[in-house]
Amino acid sequence: MARDAVLELRSGWPSRWLRALLLLQLLPWRYALGALPFGSSRHPGFADLLSEQQLLEVQDLTLSLLQGGGLGPLSLLPPDLPDLEPECRDMLMDFANSSAELTGCLVRSARPVRLCQTCYPLFQLVASKMDNISRTFGNSSESPSCARSLLMADRMQIVLMVSEFFNSTWQEANCANCLTNNSEDLSNNTEYFLSLFNKTLACFEHNLQGNTYNLLPPKNYSEVCKNCNDAYKTLSTLYNEMQKMNGLENKAEPGTHLCIDVEDAMNITRKLWSRTFNCSVTCSDTVSVVAVSVFILFLPVVFYLSSFLHSEQKKRKLILRHRKQHLDRVATADLAV
């Protein structure tokens, strides 16, 4: 009987629903009059206000509210209330969990920069979760369109905005230059560079043992400069080769960089070598560079010297010619006399 009343109440939305709400407001009056809640006996003064049918309706609605979750199965809200299908909710939770893991990895790897080498598996996972959501768009009407619900249902488009943030961060870090073509692993050059980088830092640390690092007063790091010279030169040469290779592979994209992990590692090494340890490496092209510089500097001297000698030679020839002509005239005059 009570269930029939509830069905009638749901079919009579919204007038019967509003009447039930009014009945809920009258319920405390019944407690005030001493009647037991939802009992079979009624207070004589309360019978004129509520019938047995109405009390049963109030009982069902009140129990539903007390159990939590709003109106539960008795909800009379319109059917177009925004809600997610279970499949879409699972996709949303998967994307949320993987996004949280990737965000934590990016922040933890911010200093020193280890974004690409540490977080690329999580980035691939987030990208796959986003693909799962996008692929549901345009499917048959039998399956829920999770892309429409999760990506285009509101102005903010939170899921799409988070995905675009990850993609832009990955592109600005140039992580693709550190990975293989399928982005499933680090490239051979990157792994080799990172191994040389670790060896160079290990060399620095080994030669600093017993010599506490301090900027004031300056320390003598001659041992570091002497023993780690080869390691530093090898690392610097590899970095320059990777830069040239990257420039050749990206001719159509001027200004492209190596991935941020490699650049940051090389910057750290160079700062330690030049600023902290005050080491200097003799470049293999120093002799040729000095020779060319000296030649260019002496070009003006050679030019002016050659001009001076040439002018002096012409002047001497001119004097000799005039002297010869004068002697010829004197000889001619003597013969005439």
CA distance from start to end of the chain: 169
- Residues 191 and 264 occupy one common structural domain: yes
Question: Do residue 268 and residue 236 come from a single domain?
Answer: yes
Angle at the Cα of 274 (from 268 to 276), degrees rounded to 5?
A: 75
Residue ending a domain, among 144, 173, 202, is 173
Could you tell me the residue range of the domain that residue 150 belongs to?
85-173
Q: 188 and 114 in one domain?
A: no
Tell me, yes or no, whether 210 lies in a domain: yes
In order along its 337 residues, the chain shows pLDDT tens digits of 444 444 444 444 444 444 544 444 545 544 444 444 444 444 444 445 556 666 666 566 555 544 444 444 445 555 555 677 888 899 999 999 999 999 999 999 999 999 999 999 999 999 999 999 988 655 544 445 788 888 888 889 999 999 999 999 999 999 999 999 878 899 999 999 999 999 999 999 999 875 555 544 456 788 999 999 999 999 999 999 999 988 777 654 545 689 999 999 999 999 999 999 999 755 445 667 777 777 787 678 777 777 766 676 666 666 666 666 666 666 676 666 5
Q: Is residue 129 part of a domain?
A: yes
Q: Tell whether 98 is covered by a domain.
A: yes
Let me know: does 112 contact 268? Beta carbons within 8 Å: yes
193 with 163, same domain? no
Of the residues 234, 267, 282, which one is the last residue of a structural domain? 282
Contact present, 101 and 122 (Cβ < 8 Å):
yes
Residue 48 falls inside a structural domain: no
Q: Could you tell me the pTM of the whole model? A: 0.59
Between CA 316 and CA 284 the distance in angstroms is 49
Number of domains in the chain: 2
| 312 lies in some domain | no
Residue 259 lies in a domain: yes
Residue 288 CA to residue 308 CA, distance in Å, equals 30
Choosing from 236, 259, 282, the residue where a domain stops is: 282
Q: Does some domain include residue 162?
A: yes
